[in-house]
Structure 1
């Protein structure tokens, strides 16, 4: 059940926009934070939005004017699920829920130890594990991310040192954003304790936020997250 929390959603939206901005910078795309939204003037990396709204009821026309719609594929993360972008040629790609978890340790012991990626070789190993070996998707995670102060890539390793789970942790705006959660086994219930253990060790007094949908939302809620509000991602085909 969703428990609406506008302040927490705003913090989550700003935090997520900062992560999207960092990913875009690593690809040479400089976005801009405005009063109502973060936007990028040219196409962002695959899977990452061209705009993220930061306040309810953002001006849709002004937002669309700040992104590149000259070719198909532009996306907008409607952080409050309150826009209608159909007249601008967009359709709904998916709906999801922002989630929030108070600061604290995982509810059960992680099955693997964790560490943070500090060099390009480690980043490459992490990216391949995160992307299930897909070379093209793994190349989205470029070494420039390692220089971003608000980005931490966490890996859980098995006894042989192989990366078996992980996530991106993004501190900022009074929260820790958790995204790109993965488990080599495909079972996110094994990944979350590792991620939560790392977050608690590194940021012991800071709550966690993120967004999920479907089975991934169910897995997050089983680890102490609560849905706090809807979001919607729009695509211009």
Structure 2
């Protein structure tokens, strides 16, 4: 696959994961020709609109989202749009990343396995959120029934959660997101554990901000291109 194809796969995979998260909260977004949009405000940390193509325009986004209250967010997947004139501010920038299929995974520390029960998911979500109970509610048990979503956790010998990640499958790639390490766990432990839990025969995609790119590169990922996330006042 050439880079443009992989980038398109990464964008589509990410939007399908956003849709899965919305669906777990009783919401359904709309796939248009150039953008995915949600008419209702999406769950915490998830965008109200995502561009699907490099030629998406501001009108493709704004027509499909709720701007009656502050806090609408837009993921510009190709970093092409300027939404400042529409009352948005740039929230953050990041890089799409890709790891080819078939690369050997580094040795993993701990027992990395899928989260299977609501109780395990509740513990995972608390660890992901840094013990913020409100943020932890983002990950409800409905996600466990989604066949495309696998939530993985790494456990120390004493049962403590070392870290975790979300793996989301789409047609040609698997997305890696929500990667976290707890306490004094080195982030490289989480990257290795997530790779060990991911299917080795499929490319992995995702995105990371600049300060996390060194760890991503060390794990075998390469950059595909920039994205931007905008937030309305």
The TM-score normalised by the length of structure 2 is 0.95
SS in 2 for 1:141: coil
Change in 2 beyond 3 A, CA 1:136/1:106: farther
| TM-aligned CA deviation for residue 32 of structure 1 | 1.2
3-state SS of paired residue (2:125): helix
- From 73, 96, 117, give the equivalent of 2:94: 96
Which residue of structure 2 aligns with residue 228 of structure 1?
A: 224
CA–CA distance in structure 1, aligned partners of residues 179 and 102 of structure 2: 18
User: Which whole-Å deviations, capped at 9, do the CAs of 1:4-41 have from their partners, x for residues lacking one?
Assistant: 92211111110000111111111111111111111111
- CA separation of 1:215 and 1:187: change in aligned 2, threshold 3 A: farther
Q: Distance in 1 between matches of 2:52 and 2:102?
A: 27
**Are the aligned partners of 1:92 and 1:235 in contact in 2 as well (CA < 8 Å)?**
yes
Q: 4+ residue stretches of structure 1 with deviation over 6 A?
A: none
Where structure 2 has 5 or more consecutive residues not aligned to the other structure, the ranges are none
Q: 2-side partners of 1:189 and 1:214: how far apart? A: 16
Task: Decide whether the 8 Å contact of 2:105 with 2:196 is kept in 1.
Answer: no
> Counterpart of 1:214?
210
- Which residue does 1:151 correspond to in 2? 149
Contact 1:178–1:210 (CA<8 Å) still a contact in 2? yes
Provide the secondary structure at the position in 1 that maps to 2:113.
strand
CA shift at 1:104, angstroms?
A: 3.3
Q: Matches of 1:127 and 1:228 in 2, distance apart? A: 29
Per mean C-alpha deviation after superposition, the further-off stretch among 166-175 and 180-189 is 180-189
Q: What's the TM-score, normalizing by structure 1? A: 0.94
Aligned counterparts of 2:103 and 2:7: Cα–Cα separation in 1:
22
Taking structure 1 as reference, are residues 157 and 104 closer, same or farther at Cα in structure 2, changes over 3 Å only? farther
Aligned mates of 2:211, 2:156 — CA distance in 1: 24
**How much does 1:107 deviate?**
4.5
RMSD: 1.4
Q: How does 1:10-159 map to 2 (within 5 A)?
A: 10-104=8-102, 106-159=104-157
Query: In 1, are the aligned partners of 2:99 and 2:220 still within 8 Å (CA)?
Result: yes
Query: 1:37, 1:28 → 2: CA distance?
Result: 20
Name the CA distance, whole Å, in 2 between partners of 1:235 and 1:75: 4
Match of 2:5 in 1: 7
Equivalent pair of 2:95/2:210 in contact (CA under 8 Å): no
The C-alpha deviation readout for 1:78-123, integer Å capped at 9, x for no partner, is 0000112122211111110000001235552111111111111111
Contact 1:5 / 1:229 at 8 angstroms: preserved in 2?
Answer: no
Q: Which stretches in structure 1 are left out of the alignment for 5+ residues?
A: none
